[in-house]
Amino acid sequence: MNLNQLRIFYWTASEGSLSSAAEALNISQPAVTKALKRLQEEQEVELFCRDGNRVHATYAGERLFEIAEEIFALEEKTDILMESFRNEDKNNLLIDSSLSFGDYYVPLLMNKFKQLMPDVKTSINVMPTSEILSRSIAMKNDIAFFSYEVQDKNLVVQPVLHEKLMIITQPGHRFSKMKYISPEDLNGETLISHEEGSIQKKLLTEMISKHDLKLNILSVEYTSNEAIKGAVELGEGIALISEKAVERSVRAGLLHAVSIGKKPLTRCLYMGWHRDRLLIPKIQTVIDLCKSIF
């Protein structure tokens, strides 16, 4: 059985029609009929049965169709992979990053990277992790940074760093006199929340449920750390946020940060790339830098 015969069989089984298969393949219907007849004769297996103008796969045809689907899916994957290699520009690096990593860690990473590879032009897109995941699977970036661990068979995902998550308040808030707070101390507070799907939202939801906390949840959800910090500064409530995101504001006296418990909450940030991506020097350099500086 050759690949051309298998392709004609696949499209005929998919369309259930010789004429539709011929149109999809841009060949004549007699050519489809001849190819299928020859295939069945060579294999000595009936692959189709007729029902008027329609054709239906036999049991043997259904099993062959399943294998053909896998073969042509691999063929498509191969085409995408080769296209990515053909379009590979060794002097351009495309990074997708989650909001926090992009705002607070990528600048340091790029500072070190440019010292090692000054001729590489780098483009950085900052977006939610859910969008980065789909782009990574489609090989639309060279390397990506995620705000939580993503799982997909097409990706290689590794931890980059752990960062502390702190409750931030106005400087005069009652929490500003505490070294740390307990979950129960949150009762009665107004909470400014990150967007649905964020790790901060997930941790707070779990904490509220576990300790049966009674909080006022602000009706506005933010994707921006800067917006959340601004809302807290204006006295709209408190928020759970990355310690890195509020370092300067805390030093400037604009905000106060306190941990929940003696041991602060932490989250892990991750990097990842498509497992079919060739780790050429520009990408490997980013990976190595992440392991050495974070």
Q: Are residue 26 and residue 118 in the same domain, yes or no?
A: no
Our count of domains for the chain comes to 3
pLDDT at 283: 94
Among 51, 86, 121, the domain boundary falls at 86
Nearest to 47 by CA among 16, 4, 3, 70: 16
Question: What CATH number does the domain containing 50 carry?
Answer: 1.10.10.10
Q: What is the pTM of this model?
A: 0.66
The separation between CA 122 and the C-alpha centre of its own chain, rounded to angstroms, equals 20
Q: What is the mean pLDDT of residues 29-57?
A: 90
Q: Are residue 110 and residue 79 in the same domain, yes or no?
A: no
Task: Enter the DSSP assignment of 195.
Answer: P
Flag whether pLDDT at 38 surpasses 70: yes
Q: What is the mean pLDDT of residues 112-141?
A: 93
pLDDT per position as a tens digit, 69-107: 999 899 888 888 777 666 666 678 999 999 889 999 999
Q: Are residue 15 and residue 143 in the same domain, yes or no?
A: no
Among 44, 66, 86, the domain boundary falls at 86
Residues sharing a CB contact under 8 Å with residue 16, sequence separation 6 or more, in sequence order: 54, 55, 56
Q: Collapsing DSSP states into helix, strand and coil, what is residue 256?
A: strand
18 vs 84, higher pLDDT? 18
Q: Are residue 168 and residue 119 in the same domain, yes or no?
A: no
Q: Are residue 211 and residue 226 in the same domain, yes or no?
A: yes
Give the span between the Cα atoms of 2 and 138, in whole angstroms: 30
Flag whether pLDDT at 52 surpasses 90: no
- Decide: residue 195, CB within 10 A, 0-12 exposed, 13-18 middle, 19+ buried: middle
- Mean pLDDT over all residues of the chain? 91
Domain of 21, in residue numbers = 3-86
Question: What CATH number does the domain containing 233 carry?
Answer: 3.40.190.10
Q: Are residue 262 and residue 170 in the same domain, yes or no?
A: yes
Q: Are residue 135 and residue 174 in the same domain, yes or no?
A: no
Q: Are residue 155 and residue 102 in the same domain, yes or no?
A: yes
pLDDT per position as a tens digit, 167-198: 999 999 999 989 899 999 999 999 998 887 78
Q: Are residue 177 and residue 260 in the same domain, yes or no?
A: yes
pLDDT per position as a tens digit, 200-255: 888 888 999 999 999 888 877 787 889 999 999 999 999 999 999 999 999 999 99
Q: Are residue 277 and residue 231 in the same domain, yes or no?
A: no
Q: Are residue 168 and residue 262 in the same domain, yes or no?
A: yes
